[in-house]
Amino acid sequence: MRAVVFDRYGAPDVLRLEDVEQPVPKEHEVLVKMHATTVTRSDCAVRAGKPFISRFFTGLRRPKQRILGTELAGEVEAVGAAVHEFGVGDHVFGTTSTFRFGTHAEFICMQESAPLAHKPAGMSFEEAAAVCDGVILALMGLRAAGLRKGQKIVIYGASGSIGTAGVQLARYFEADVTAVCNTKNLELVRSLGADRVIDYTQEDFTKNGETYDVIFDAVGKHSFRRCRDSLKQGGIYVATDGLRNLILALWTPRLGGKKVMFPIPPRYTKKDVLFLKELIETGRYRAVIDRRYPLEAVVEATTYVETKQKTGNVVLTINGSRTR
C-alpha cells in the first residue's frame, strides 16, 4: 500500500510517498480502507520534532513512527475473528488513540475498542474525517473548565479546528459565546452559533472591559497573563499549547483565584466519538473544511497548515475518495 512516511525530523519536505507493507488485522482489529484523513497541528509538531522535549515520546534522534495522521474515514476491508461491532463494507470514522498515528496511508488497522464508530448518516468521508480531533480536544478543555449553561466564554482562535469545534460545543452547553477570529471568518463563526464575534485585527477583547467565566485559547497564541484581568473571580483560562501553561496549570489552582487549565495528555475515546456522531446526526454539529488535497500533495497541505491561517480543517483524500 502507499503511505506518507518520514525518517527524520524537519521541514514538510521530509515527507514522502512510499510503498509499505499493508497491515493485517489481528483478532480484535478491523482493517480500514482509508478514503480521507487530515493534516493537524499535532502532525506538524511531531514531524518537526518540536518542542524538543516531545522527542522523549516520539523518538529522540529519529521518529519512532514513520506514518503520521490521526483522523480517519473509510470503509472496513477486513475484520479479525473476534470483532462483532463492525463488518466488511461498513463505513466508519474516528481517530487513533493517544500518541498513535498511521492514517496517512491507504489502509490502517484499528482495535474494535478504539475511538472508531459507524460514519454519521448523510456525511461525506471528507467531512467525517475532519471532526474528531478538534471536537475531542475542545471537549477536553470545556470539560476541564466545567462550562455550564449561562456562563460567559471567550473562544480565541475560533476559526481553527479546535476553535470551530469549541464554538459549536459551547453552544451545545448553552453558554454565552464570544468568538474571536480574523475578518474573513466572522460570518462563518457566527453561523456556528457564536452570540457575538470579535475581529482581533480591529479589537483586543482583553481591553473592552468585559469579564468572562472561561477564556479558551484554541490556538495557543494568547497567554494567561494578558487574559487575567478579563476573567471573573474564580474564572478559568484554558490552554491548548505552551509548556509554560503546564507549570501554570500546576501552580495557579493552589492560589484559589483565577486559574489555568491545560488538559494533557489528550484522551481519545470511543464514547466521545459516539457522542460526536449523535451531535452530527441531530444537526447540532457540522464539519468545517478549508482545503482538500490528494495524498500525493501532503507536503503542500502540510506547508499550508503551518501558515497557521487555515480555517477549520485541511483534508487529505485517499484511494480516489468516494463522496459518501
Average pLDDT of the segment spanning 219-239: 93
Residue 136 has pLDDT above 90, yes or no: yes
pLDDT at position 134 over 80? yes
Residue 257: pLDDT band (50, 70, 90) is confident
pLDDT band at 243 (very low <50, low <70, confident <90, very high): confident
For the chain, give every domain's residue range: 2-131+287-317, 138-261
pTM: 0.93
Cα–Cα nearest to 241, from 300, 160, 127:
160
Cell numbers placing 70: 490521526
Under DSSP, the state recorded for 270 is H
Residue whose entry in the numeric block shows the C-alpha cell 506514518: 67
Mean confidence (pLDDT) of the chain? 95
**pLDDT tens digits along 22-75:** 999 999 999 999 999 999 999 999 999 998 888 988 899 999 999 999 999 999
**Residue 322 pLDDT level (bands cut at 50, 70, 90):** low
CA–CA dist 242, 96 (Å, integer): 23
What is the reported pLDDT for 259?
94
Q: Is 83 helix (H, G, I), strand (E, B) or coil?
A: coil
Q: Which residue do the cell numbers 474571536 mark?
A: 180
Identify the pLDDT of residue 129. 98
Chain position carrying cell 492514517: 103
What pLDDT, on the 0 to 100 scale, is given for residue 241?
A: 85
Q: What are the start-end ranges of the E strands in the chain?
A: 2-5, 16-19, 29-39, 71-79, 91-95, 107-111, 116-118, 152-156, 176-181, 196-199, 212-217, 231-238, 259-261, 289-294, 313-317
pLDDT at residue 256, rounded to an integer:
75
For the record, the C-alpha cell of 112 comes out as 474494535
Burial of 14 (0-12, 13-18, 19+ CB in 10 A): middle
Provide the pLDDT for residue 320: 67
**Percentage of the chain exceeding pLDDT 90:** 86
Query: What's the CATH number for 2-131+287-317?
Result: 3.90.180.10
Contacts of 24 (CB under 8 A, 6+ apart): 31, 109
Strand partners, 116: 94
> What sections of the chain are H helices per DSSP?
41-48, 55-58, 125-129, 132-145, 161-172, 186-191, 224-227, 243-251, 270-281, 298-305
Share of the chain above pLDDT 70, in %: 98
Q: Is 289 helix (H, G, I), strand (E, B) or coil?
A: strand
How many Cα atoms sit within 13 Å of 94 on the Cβ side?
A: 31
The Cα–Cα gap between 258 and 88 comes to 51
Q: Which CATH superfamily is domain 138-261 in?
A: NAD(P)-binding Rossmann-like Domain (3.40.50.720)
Residue written as grid cell 468516494:
322
Q: Measure the CA–CA gap between 78 and 61, rounded to whole angstroms.
A: 35
